[in-house]
Amino acid sequence: MKLLQDTFRIWWQKPSSVTEREKNREISYLELFYDLVYVAIVIELTHILAGNISLGVLIQYIALFSMVWWAWLNGSLYHELHGNNDVRTRIFTFIQMLSLAGMWIFTHNAFWAGYQGFAISYALFLSILTYLWWRTGVYDRDHKPFSTPYVWWFSFTTILFVISIFTIPTVSFYLWGIAIVFSLFLPFTLNRRTQLKWTTHTKSSLIEHREAALSINPSFVERLWLLTIIILGEAVISAVQWATFIETLRMSDIVHIMWFFGIIFSMWWIYFDFIARRLPVQGTINRFIWIYLHLFLTLSIGLLSVWVYNTLKYAEYLQWANKWILIAPLMLFLFTIILLIQTLDIRKELKRFYWFGTIASAVSIVLLWIIGVIDFWTTITIISAMFVIFIPVVAWFFVWIDHASTKINTQ
C-alpha cells in the first residue's frame, strides 16, 4: 500500500492540460477499444427501421443516432483534450463503456418498453462526463472557464434524462430531443463564456487555452475517419449478416448485394481520398461545422445499412419507401461531402481537383433525385444508383491523374 501511495500521481494522474497535448500523437489502443462499442449500438439501431419504414420511426432512428454520435463525440473529445496513459483514464473509459453497453441493450426498444433502461444508461454516461469536466476545472484553474459550461450543460441534460425515467415514452421522446438539441449548441457558447471570465483570468491565458481547446489536431481527424470506417464496415456486416438469414438466395438477392458493395466502395473512395486525413480551416465556427457535418455523413451511411436489411428481407412490402431509403442517404452523403470540402484547408494546386469533384457530386445528386422520382424496378434502381455515385470517383480520378502527370512533367 505504501508503494501505491508514494506513486499515486504516476498511476492516477491529473487530467492533462490542453496546452500540453501532443499535436501529432498516435491513437491509443484504449481509444480503438472504446470506438468498437459503438459498432454494436449502430448495428442495433438498424433494427428500428426493419420492416417498418415510416416518418415517425425514421425520426426516432435519427434522434437515437444523434444521441449515440453525440456520446461518441464528447467521450472522444475529452480523451483527446485531457486523457492520459494511466489507470484513471482507463477506469473512467471502461465505466463509460459499461454505460454504452446499457444503451446497446435498450436501443431497439428505446422509445417503447426499453425507454427507462436507455434513459438510465444515457444519464449515467452524461454523469461520468460531467464529473470528468468538473475535475478538469478543479485541477487546471486556467481551463475552468471552458470546463464550467460543460458541467452546467451536461448537468441540465442529465436531469432531463433522469426526469424522462418517470414519464411515459411519448414525453421522454420530447425530453431527449430538447436535451440533445440543447447540447449541440454548447460548443458555440465557449467564446462568449471566456470573455465573461476575463475579470479573473488574464486575457492571454484565456486565448491560449481557447485556441488549444478548439484546435483540430491530426489525432482527432483520425478518430473521426476511424468512426466513419467503422460505420462503413457495419454496413458491409449488415449485407453479409442478413444474407445469411435468407434460406434460399435468389439471383436478385445476389445482384443486390454485389451492387451494394459497389456503392459502399464508392463512398469509401470518395471520403477517404478527399476528406479524411485533411484538416479543416482553423476558424472557430468552421471547425464546429466540420465536426457536425460528420454527424450527417455517418448518419447517411447508417441509413444505408437499414436499406440493406429491408431490401433483402422486406423489399416486396416496402418498394417505394425502400427506394428512397437508398436514394436519400446517398444524396445526403454527397451533399455533406460538398459542404465538407468547403471547410477543408486545401492547397492552391489542389483547388481545381476539388472543384471538379464538387461539380461531379452536385451532378450525381441531381441524377439520384431523378432516379428517385421515376418508377424503376428495385434492381434497376440499385444499379443506376451505383453508377451515379461512381461519377465523382471517376471525375476525381481523371483530374488527379492529370495533376500527377503534370507534376511529373514539370520536374
Q: What is the pLDDT of residue 317?
A: 46
Judge whether 2 lies within some domain.
Answer: no
The answer to whether residues 284 and 338 belong to one domain is yes
Residue after which a domain boundary falls, among 214, 246, 281: 214
Q: How many helices (H) and strands (E) does the chain have?
A: 16, 0
- The residue segments making up the domain with residue 235 are 218-409
Are 116 and 260 part of one and the same domain? no
Q: Which residue has the cell 464529473?
A: 131
Domain check: are 153 and 262 in the same one?
no
Q: Is residue 7 part of a domain?
A: no
Cα four-point dihedral sign 10, 15, 20, 21:
positive
Q: Tell me the backbone φ, ψ of residue 87, rounded to 5 degrees.
A: -65, -40
d(CA 172, CA 123): 13
CB 388 within 8 A of CB 326: no
Q: What is the pLDDT of residue 198?
A: 45
Distance, CA of 209 to CA of 142 (rounded, Å): 7
pLDDT confidence of residue 290: 92
Decide which of 171, 191, 214 is a domain's last residue: 214
Q: What cell does 213 get?
A: 481547446
- pTM over the 0.85 mark: yes
Kindly state whether residue 73 falls inside one of the protein's structural domains: yes
Please give the grid coordinates belonging to residue 121: 444508461
Does any domain span residue 13?
no
Which three-class secondary structure state does DSSP give residue 275?
coil
Q: Is residue 297 part of a domain?
A: yes
Which helix or strand (DSSP H or E) is residue 335 part of?
helix 319-343
Same-domain check for residues 37 and 128: yes
In this structure, are 186 and 112 located in the same domain? yes
Q: Output phi, psi for 402, to 5 deg.
A: -65, -40
Q: How many domains is the chain partitioned into structurally? A: 2
User: Same domain, yes or no, for 210 and 227?
Assistant: no
Q: Is 79 a domain residue?
A: yes
Alpha-carbon Rg for the chain in angstroms: 23
In a domain, 14, yes or no: no
**Total Cβ atoms within 10 A of residue 151:** 19
Q: Does residue 204 share a domain with residue 236?
A: no
Q: Which residue has the cell 454494436?
A: 40
Do the beta carbons of residue 87 and residue 11 sit within 8 Å? yes
Question: How many whole angstroms separate alpha carbon 270 and alpha carbon 357?
Answer: 9
Q: Is residue 18 part of a domain?
A: no
pLDDT of residue 88: 92
Nearest-angstrom CA–CA distance, 264 and 386? 9
Instruction: Quote the CA–CA distance of 205 and 214 in Å, as a whole number.
Output: 14
* Domain match, 53 and 143 both: yes
Listed in sequence order, the residues at least 6 apart from 95 whose beta carbon sits closer than 8 Å to its beta carbon are: 128
Assess whether 104 and 234 both reside in one domain.
Answer: no
Tell me: do 101 and 176 sit in the same domain: yes
Ranges of residues in the chain whose predicted pLDDT is under 50: 196-200, 317-318
| Final residue belonging to a domain, choices 181, 214, 247 | 214
Nearest to 10 by CA among 95, 94, 89: 89
Q: Which residues of 201-229 are buried (b: 16+ CB within 10 A; e: fewer)?
A: beeeebeebbebbbbbbbbbbbbbbbbbb
- Residue 306: its pLDDT value, please? 78
Tell me if residue 344 falls in helix, strand or coil.
strand
The reply to whether 208 and 268 lie within a common domain is no
Which phi and psi (to 5°) does residue 277 adopt?
A: 70, 10
Closest CA to 147 of 113, 89, 109, 187: 187
Cell of 244: 445469411
| 108 and 242 fall within a common domain | no
